[in-house]
A and B are shown apart, each in its own frame.
Chain A
């Protein structure tokens, strides 16, 4: 069965620095998609970035980038030049293409606090 694990409960950084958070996943599927979402203090959940399992290059969107290490079943999120408004809970998620259902399965989240 598919599983997504985020071991870091919380991370604190100073603004304008880089934060990295980890995510490992389990799947028997040969093809899958990995996502990162952000949940703000208001509760709003927004999509940030996606990695396709068949692509070797790491995805990048704005100041978000991914560190995809397929042999390790790992998909880390890197936020560069952090801002106060990056303070949020970050969720890693996965959808399998062939095995199991099509719903998005989430990790437990990493709380990021960015201070001045």
Chain B
């Protein structure tokens, strides 16, 4: 049963435009993440948030900026997209930052195509 919701499912845009993706989790988790999955299926962590505070920024280009209004929501804005930003962006959540043994729950992803 889906509990991590991402919008939109797909987004097509042109180089230089700004895009925003939304993520909401209804699991009551404290920690949320953004992952990027490229065309080769490689999953790379971008940002980690705990209780709406940024914990880790994994050397992501500065045009990417996450935003969290509360611990259930984590959005991602890309200020000026570039062709290499074409990918699937996956949002995930876990119960808390300290629970390393906890699994992650993923959303269905937002597929971004940059023309």
Contact = CB atoms under 8 A, between A and B. Distances in A.
A91 B90 CA distance: 15
B106 interface: yes
B100 A97 contact: yes
B45 A105 contact: yes
A56 interface: no
B42 A108 contact: yes
B39 interface: no
Interface residues of A, number: 25
B45 A104 contact: yes
Contacts of B109: 43
B7 to A, nearest CB: 14
Nearest to A33: B101
A44 B56 contact: no
B97 interface: yes
B107 to A, nearest CB: 9
Contacts of B42: 106, 108-109
A42 B56 CA distance: 29
B41 A109 contact: yes
Contact of A52 (B48, B88, B101, B105): B101
Contacts of B45: 101, 103-105
Given A35-B103, A97-B100, A108-B41, A103 B108 contact: no
Contacts of A103: 33, 45, 48, 56, 58
B115 interface: no
Contact of A106 (B43, B101, B108): B43
Interface string B49-71: 00000011010000000000000
10 contacts: A33-B100, A33-B101, A43-B109, A44-B108, A50-B103, A101-B58, A102-B55, A103-B48, A108-B40, A109-B41
Interface of A: 32-33, 35, 39, 42-47, 50, 52, 89, 91, 95-97, 101-106, 108-109
